[in-house]
Amino acid sequence: MFTFSESGTAWQAEWTLFYWAWWISWSPFVGMFIARISRGRTIREFVAGVLFAPVGASAVWFTVFGGTALRQLLAGDAGSLADAPPENALFVLMNSLPVPGGLATVFAAIAILVVVLFFATSSDSGSLVVDILTNGGDPHPVWQQRLFWAVIEGAVAAVLLYAGSATGEDPLSALQTAALASGLPFCVVLLVMCYSLVKALRQDTIFADARDAGARRRQSSPAVAAE
Chain segment 10-60, per-residue pLDDT in tens: 666 666 666 777 778 777 777 777 877 788 888 888 888 888 888 888 899
Q: What is the pLDDT of residue 194?
A: 86
Reported as a single tens digit per residue, the pLDDT across 178-218 is: 777 777 787 888 888 889 888 988 888 887 777 777 777 77
List the chain domain ranges. 2-197
The answer to whether the CB of 79 falls within 8 A of the CB of 93 is no
The answer to whether the CB of 108 falls within 8 A of the CB of 94 is yes
Q: Which residue has the higher pLDDT, 223 or 177?
A: 177
Q: Which residue has the higher pLDDT, 3 or 51?
A: 51
Task: Please tell me which of 55-59, 90-94, 135-139, 143-147 the model is most confident about, judged by mean pLDDT.
Answer: 55-59
Average pLDDT, the chain: 77
Q: What is the pLDDT of residue 165?
A: 74
1: pLDDT confidence band, cut at 50, 70 and 90?
very low
Q: Please tell me the distance from the alpha carbon of residue 129 to that of residue 135, in angstroms, as a whole number.
A: 10
Q: Please tell me the distance from the alpha carbon of residue 227 to that of residue 224, in angstroms, as a whole number.
A: 5
Pick left, alpha or beta for residue 40 (phi over 0 → left; psi -120 to 50 → alpha; otherwise beta): left
Q: Which residues have C-beta within 8 Å of that of residue 146, sequence separation ≥ 6? A: 127, 128, 131
Q: What is the pLDDT of residue 53?
A: 83
Q: What is the pLDDT of residue 5?
A: 58
Q: What is the pLDDT of residue 12?
A: 63
Render the burial of 5-33: b for 16+ CB within 10 Å, e for the rest. eeeeeeeeeeeeebeebbebbbbbbeebb
Residue 174: exposed, middle, or buried by beta-carbon count in 10 A (0-12, 13-18, 19+)? buried
Dihedral sign of CA atoms 132, 136, 137, 140 in order: negative
Reported as a single tens digit per residue, the pLDDT across 101-124 is: 678 788 888 888 988 888 887 777
222: pLDDT confidence band, cut at 50, 70 and 90?
low
